[in-house]
Amino acid sequence: MVRKIPSIFKSIYNQYLPFFRSRVSHFQPKQLEVIIKKEAEKAQKRYLKLKEPKISPPDLYIVNWIKNRVNKDLVRKLLLPENLPEREQISFPLDNID
């Protein structure tokens, strides 16, 4: 189970929580915690595998990795039909393509 998020990642959680809550249908805040924790672990492992010289401090690398992955997840969820406003649900018929 997910343990409490370290304070360094709490600001990311607080930054993205309003976006997820207001835009993503059926969103549970625990989902964001899980994403952040999972991506933090991936980023730490990846950072250790980087070749020398490492030009970024580990904290900066990890925070940027997490933000990138949370952004990707948010965009992916926003593109689901249930999260699009009605006026943006446009069909594109293939028979009009020449």
Neighbouring residues of 56: CB distance < 8 A, sequence distance ≥ 6: 64
pTM listed for this prediction: 0.73
Q: Is residue 94 part of a domain?
A: no
The total number of structural domains that make up the chain: 1
The tokens for 66 are: 């997490």
pLDDT band at 87 (very low <50, low <70, confident <90, very high): low
- The boundaries of the domain holding residue 38 are 28-78
Q: Is residue 92 part of a domain?
A: no
Asked whether the beta carbons of 16 and 70 are under 8 A apart, the reply is yes
What amino acid occupies position 52? E
Q: What is the DSSP letter of 94?
A: G
43 assigned to some structural domain: yes
In a domain? residue 61: yes
pLDDT digits (tens, 9 = 90+) for 6-52: 777 899 999 999 988 888 888 888 999 999 999 999 999 999 999 99
Reading phi first (left if > 0) and then psi (alpha if -120 to 50, else beta), residue 26 is in left
